[in-house]
Amino acid sequence: MILDFMIPIYGRMVLAGVMTIDEENIKKRQVPKQYVNSVTNWLIDEEEERLKDSPSDVK
């Protein structure tokens, strides 16, 4: 069972370097497997929002 409120929590922990979605990385705590796809999508959405909100030098 996936609890929706945990997705951004795990996502922020990945961004902070506390957890990882990379199952080969054994140095960091793993995001639970059932959350990996949802957290990955959350990270992509967050990055798209960040890029949309940032000023761009590209014309």
Q: What domain count does the chain have?
A: 1
Predicted local confidence at residue 55, as pLDDT:
74
Residue 32 is assigned to a structural domain of this protein:
yes
Residue 15, domain extent: 6-53
Query: pTM score, two decimals?
Result: 0.85
Residue 11 is assigned to a structural domain of this protein:
yes
* Number of residues written out for the chain: 59
Predicted local confidence at residue 54, as pLDDT:
77
Q: What is the pLDDT of residues 12-56, one digit of tens each?
A: 999 999 999 999 999 999 999 999 999 999 999 999 998 988 776
The pLDDT of residue 59 is above 60: no
The pLDDT of residue 6 is above 90: yes
Residue 12 is assigned to a structural domain of this protein:
yes
Residue 59 is assigned to a structural domain of this protein:
no
Higher pLDDT, residue 31 or 59: 31
What span, in angstroms and rounded, lies between the C-alpha atoms of 5 and 9? Answer: 7
* Closest to 13 measured CA to CA, from 51, 32, 48, 2: 32
